Amino acid sequence: MSVTLLDGGTTTTAGGANQAFSRTSLPVTNGYEYADVAEADYFARQKVILTSRMPALQADGSYSKQKTSAQFVMPITLADGSISFCVARVQVEAHPETSAAQLAELREMAAQMAIQAGLDDTYKAGTFPA
């Protein structure tokens, strides 16, 4: 078996209900935290954390990559009553000369890897396609 992704495909979501996340006052380096404030229990609130580091000019005249990260944090209450914070993260590192089309393709491929059925066992049990 191998990993198969759609070249030029599109990934969309459907169904469900909108879940709003409001910006919080928690400081996040190079970004912001957003929380589902409709959840009354502060510790049970799901969160979105967005960060971005812009490209920087290096000593040799080249530029570093831009690094953008989006995280979804899902707190779960464990059997002993403690809380564990599960995290899903999408991270993109792109050179400043990356075209909009190339950046879109990079993000599309990453989205496919997050939801592709052929990788379910990798996420569930840590096993890899043969």
pLDDT in tens, 61-78: 999 999 999 999 999 999
* The model's pTM: 0.87
Domain with residue 47: its CATH number is 3.30.380.10
| Domain span at 110 | 22-115
| Better-scored residue on pLDDT, 74 or 14 | 74
pLDDT number for residue 1: 62
| Res 109 pLDDT > 90 | yes
Number of domains in the chain: 1
Measured CA to CA, the distance from residue 21 to residue 100 in angstroms comes to 27
Is residue 1 included in any domain, yes or no? no
Q: How far apart are CA 98 and CA 108, in angstroms?
A: 15
37-49 as b/e: b if 16+ CB within 10 A: eeeeeeeebbbbb
